[in-house]
Amino acid sequence: MRDHPARRSAPATDEAFLRQCLALASRAEGRTSPNPLVGSIVARGRRILAEAWHRRAGGVHAERGALRRAGRAARGSTLYTNLEPCCHWGRTPPCVDAIVAAGVRRVVVSHKDPDPRVNGKGIAALRRAGIEVTVGGIRREAMQMNERHVLYHTRHRPFVLVKAAMTLDGRIAARDGSSHWISSRASRAQAHRMRAAHDAVLVGAGTVRADDPRLTVRRGSRSLSSTRRPLRVVIDGTLSIPYKARLLRQRSGGPVIFYATGGAPRARLRRLEKLGALVVIVPSEKGDSRRVRMDACLQDLARRGVTSVLVEGGGEVIASMLKANLVDRMVLFVAPLIVGGRTAVPVAGGAGASSIGAAVRLASLEVSRCGTDLLIDARVRRRSR
C-alpha cells in the first residue's frame, strides 16, 4: 500500500480534518499493536499538503510520515492527528521534535495519549515551543478507535472481545458436545479475520478437548499479512488437556501459554513445557482451587504486552469472564438452528445471573448478515462493583 499525498480541497474545519485522520488510521487496523492507530494530515487553510498513517509497530509514525511528504511546505502549516504526538524515544524518534523542527504553526489533536510516557507531555512540549495546540475534536470517536490502547493504559489489562457461534436458542454445542459447524462458511472466514486482528486468542480446556482447535489464522485471511501469529492462550486450571492436542503440534501458530492453578500436577507442567508451551501459575478462584482467576490471567498477559484478547470459548470461560466484569465487547454469530435440550451447551455457562436485574446488559447493538447467519456486535455495559 502506497501513500499518495493528497492535493485537493477539504472543508476548512478541524473536525473534518480529524475525521480524515481517523479514516487514514483505520487502514492499519490490526497491524500496529502494541502501538495505537494514528493518522495525520498537514494542511494550509483548505489545502491538504500531505497525509500519512502509522502502518506497523516500529514503523514511521503518522506525524513524521506526513511531515516528510510535506517537506518545506510544512512551515507555518497546521498538523492534524487523532492522538497526542509522542515525546519519548522508543523504536522511533519523538514526533514532537519533528513537528517543532518542521516549523508547524498549529497542532490539532483529538485527545491525550494515556500512555504514561506521553499523557499530556507531548502537548506541553509543543506549547513550550510556541506552537498553538487545540485538543478535543471528535474525542469520543477517536478514543473508541483506540479503545484497546486506552484501556491497556488506564485499566492495565487487555481489551477483551468474546466471539461465539451459537444457535437461535443460544447453544454453542449439542448435548453430545458437537459444534461443527454451527456457523456458516462466511462467518468462519470472518472469525479468522478477527483472530488476525488480536494479539491473543483464548479458550478453555473444555474447548480444546471437544474441538481440538489449532487457534491459528487461516492463510489468506485478508486485512492482515500472513505473518500475523496471535498468542494462543488456554485456561486449564489442572493442566488436563491431552498432549496430542493440535495446538501443541501446530508449529505455524503463535506461542502457546497455559494458565493453571498452584494445584496443577508438576509432572504435567513439565511435560507441557517440553512440548514447547509456557505454563503460568496464577491464583485460583475463591472456593474453587481448580479454577484460575481470570483477572490474574489478563494482568499477566498485559505484562507481556498483549493489548487485545479474542475469547473463543467455551461457555464456562465466557461465563467466568462476564462474571468478573472483564468483557468489553461481544460478537455473536447466530445460526438459523434450534438445538433444544436441557443439556445442550449454552453460550454462557456457570450458575448464571440470580435475577434479571443481575443479568449482563449489552449496549450499542449492531445487527447484520454474515452468510446465512446473523451477526450481533455489541458493547458490554460496565457494572459497578
Mean per-residue pLDDT over the chain, rounded: 90
Rg of the chain on CA atoms, in Å: 23
Distances (CA, A) of 98 to 80, 172, 382: 14, 52, 39
CA angle 235, 296, 276 (to 5 degrees): 45
For the domain with range 14-150, which CATH number is right: 3.40.140.10, 3.40.50.300, 3.40.50.2300, 3.40.47.10? Answer: 3.40.140.10
Measuring CA to CA, which residue among 294, 334, 329 is closest to residue 308? 329
Report the catalytic residues. Answer: 63
pLDDT of residue 299: 96
Helix (H), strand (E), coil (C) string for 274-295: HCCCEEEECCEECCEEEEECHH
Boundaries of CATH 3.40.140.10 in the chain? Answer: 14-150
Distance, CA of 346 to CA of 172 (rounded, Å) = 6
Chain position carrying cell 514511521:
60
What confidence tens digit (pLDDT) does each residue in 334-370 have? 999 999 888 888 899 888 888 898 899 999 999 999 9
Mean pLDDT of the 304-328 span: 94
Whether 366 and 377 have beta carbons less than 8 Å apart is answered as yes
Chain position carrying cell 475534536:
137
Distance, CA of 85 to CA of 269 (rounded, Å) = 45
Within 8 A by CB and 6+ apart from 29, the residues are 37, 197, 223
What confidence tens digit (pLDDT) does each residue in 154-207 have? 999 999 999 999 999 999 988 887 888 889 999 999 999 999 999 999 999 999
Distance, CA of 255 to CA of 268 (rounded, Å) = 18
Distance, CA of 49 to CA of 1 (rounded, Å) = 19
| Chain centroid offset of residue 368 CA | 21
Confidence of residue 250 (pLDDT cuts 50, 70, 90): confident
Q: Which helix (H) or strand (E) holds 188?
A: helix 185-196
Boundaries of CATH 3.40.430.10 in the chain? Answer: 155-232+299-380
Mean pLDDT of the 220-240 span: 76
Query: Of 147-161, 197-211, 224-238, 369-383, which range is least confident?
Result: 224-238
Whether 253 and 215 have beta carbons less than 8 Å apart is answered as yes
What confidence tens digit (pLDDT) does each residue in 127-148 have? 999 999 999 889 999 999 999 9
DSSP class of 331: E
Superfamily (CATH) of domain 155-232+299-380: Dihydrofolate Reductase, subunit A (3.40.430.10)
pLDDT of residue 36: 95
pLDDT of residue 229: 87
